[in-house]
Amino acid sequence: MSAAPQVSVVIPAHNRVGPLRDTIQSVLAATRRVAAEIVLVDDGSEPPLSEILGDIGAGLVRHVRQTNQGSIAARLHGLAEARGDHVLFLDSDDLVHPEKFDVILPAIAVARADVAYDDLARPIRENAGWHFESVEALRRSSEPAEFYLRIQPVPHSPTYRRDYLLRHLEKPLIPAKREFDPAGDVWLYYNLCAFPATIVKVDRALTAIGIHNEERYSRHWERIAVAALGVMEAFAAACPQVADLLSTRRVAGECAFDSWRRLPRGFDPDFDRRLLQLWENAPRGPVEHLGGPFFQKLARLFGPKAAGRIIRYSQPRYSRVRSLSPEAYRQLFSK
């Protein structure tokens, strides 16, 4: 039996093929000097992806097919199939820098880290592949709640130790539900934020989102918001109320408050209420954690909730930022 690979790249996919080819090619370029495997989880595509992709990545790509169950189930299936010491999750339109694993894996080894993350890049198409241009430098953090809930890197930035993921996702704090799929990365992060982890940051832009015109979850931010709220409520209900997790619960509440005060005016009132309630029910921290100097001044005069409502007057009305039709909006909030 061959030795276990150093890294397993898990890619859930459903029908979207064009961007997936670019994703696989970027992984092939990044694994020339690394023992790796690509676990491609076909979430019920028709026709099967193995038939469409042919021998692309032959010897490196392992096709795993399941009935259509959604992206979270496909990601967990891929994790169960993975044999590598480390795991990177990619969507079927993500790209990785050719040197990602050359840099990330030694950083994990030196720090004995459970997870390593890097910065976001903008991909620029070149004849021989992609050029990665730095877009955003993320903050450093060694605290799981701060990293997963506040920094919240794009989901294809972190590379994990496989045993760390298996330990905390075999019986996840928040069960996998298809309704959470639009916010699958949020589901993963809230399931990991309550557990100790050694985290290391690599100051290079090694992660990018592919350029294409096909459907993305991110094109409909309202669906992501509703799924994320469900995850946050499930976390609040499931997270043990013990002293060791008080700061984690506080950060989760503060993140809910931050999301609430950024809502557009005129958004669904029940969504508004539920999001604010998460903060109201969470342990409280200093007002400095809830906003900048202007917010803090208002909060000391009127209280955090009133200050948040005042700040929200500067937000655009929902009608100016909507991505759903009126009918799709009604259906989303009538569930």
pLDDT at 1: 43
Mean pLDDT of all residues in 152-167: 95
pLDDT at 215: 55
User: Mind listing the pLDDT tens digit for each residue in 267-326?
Assistant: 999 999 999 999 999 999 999 999 999 999 999 999 999 999 999 999 999 999 999 999
Mean pLDDT of all residues in 111-119: 98
For every residue of 76-125, DSSP letters joined together read HHHHHH--SSEEEE--TTEEE-TTHHHHHHHHHHHHT-SEEEEEEEEEEE
Sign of dihedral through CA atoms 50, 53, 56, 60? negative
pLDDT at 129: 74
State the Cα–Cα distance between residues 119 and 139, nearest whole angstrom. 9
Asked if the model's pLDDT at residue 218 lies above 90, the reply is: no
Q: What Cα–Cα distance (Å) separates residue 42 from each residue in 22, 63, 97, 333?
A: 16, 7, 24, 30
pLDDT at 213: 56
State the Cα–Cα distance between residues 118 and 153, nearest whole angstrom. 8
What's the predicted TM-score (pTM) here? 0.94
Instruction: Specify the DSSP element, H or E, that contains 280.
Output: helix 269-280
pLDDT confidence bin for 217, thresholds 50/70/90: low
Q: Can you give the residue ranges of every domain in the chain?
A: 7-216, 240-333
CB 305 within 8 A of CB 299: no
Mean pLDDT of all residues in 54-82: 95
Fold type of domain 7-216: Spore Coat Polysaccharide Biosynthesis Protein SpsA; Chain A (3.90.550)
User: Mind listing the pLDDT tens digit for each residue in 20-29?
Assistant: 999 999 999 9
